[in-house]
Amino acid sequence: MAGGLLVGASRTPSTTDALAGTGRAADTAVRPPFELIPAIDLLGGRAVRLTQGRYDAATVYDDDPSAVAARFAAIGVKRIHVVDLDGAKAGRPVQAESVRRILAAVGRIPVQMGGGLRTLEGVDEALSWGLDRVILGTVALRDPELVKRAAAKHPGRIVVGIDARDGRVAVEGWTEGSEILAVDLGRRFEDAGVAAIVYTDIARDGMLTGPNLEATARLASALSIPVIVSGGVATSADVVASARLRDENICGVIVGRAIYTGGVDLASALREVEALL
């Protein structure tokens, strides 16, 4: 399936009120740059996309994820998001070789990865491959102190992944739900040195129905940690709408299926975002 990626080839925050009862709003003093971040999900060594996190609803888009990453790099992206779906289910990184090939293909472009990182040793190893940042999801709920230790050891390189259905956190590759609210989980990492939070609305993920910007903005306004939009982006208009929230503590948007199906032309969307910044 190599060569099936539908993307162009040329390169070309006022803060909302905090959630009721939180007593804090996002600090607007310093903001990281807003980033449009294309996603590569790895399953069995191939680039795939899931629908609502269901492993039985995977669509294969390319047999060579490193070639996909190289095309993203040629377009001019500033960061690439990689998920080891096999690792997310196994509880340990599985796609190390695929990740290394991606890193080799994109040179100095920062790559962040999540999926299966549950120990400090695993975090250390993944960062040693050359990743810019790693994303901790399940362990953020199971062992928040480990996340804090990782953030202290690797300043600016730890991202917390919060995946939620109806505002409640799901873990273990989205196969298990919980009663923990996303905002409550996010609050556990205030002042811990976490670089960002990736917030994914699972109900929107892979559905091309538009991201849940309302819920994401509520989360972002309740925290000082910058938040990245994820799940459901369908068009360049969704990308632009996310970028318009950059002053609301939103620091990026992850785009997956829409790039592969042609709903978002990556080169054009990058130009639109850059025009806003």
Determine contact, residues 88/134, Cβ cutoff 8 Å: no
The residue with greater pLDDT, 180 or 207, is 180
Q: What is the domain range of residue 164?
A: 35-276
Mean pLDDT of the chain: 87
> Does any domain span residue 30?
no
pLDDT score recorded for residue 4: 42
> Does any domain span residue 23?
no
> Does any domain span residue 8?
no
Q: Residue 229 pLDDT more than 70?
A: yes
pLDDT score recorded for residue 175: 52
* Catalytic-role residue among 86, 163, 201, 205: 163
CATH value at residue 143 = 3.20.20.70
> Does any domain span residue 144?
yes
> Does any domain span residue 6?
no
Q: Residue 92 pLDDT more than 80?
A: yes
265 is catalytic: no
Q: Residue 120 pLDDT more than 80?
A: yes
pTM score, two decimals?
0.87
Calculate mean pLDDT across residues 8-16: 33
**What's the domain count of the chain?**
1
> Does any domain span residue 46?
yes
> Does any domain span residue 91?
yes
Give the pLDDT confidence of 40-55 residue by residue, as tens digits.
Answer: 999 999 999 988 778 8
pLDDT score recorded for residue 20: 31
The residue with greater pLDDT, 179 or 215, is 215
> Does any domain span residue 126?
yes
56 is catalytic: no
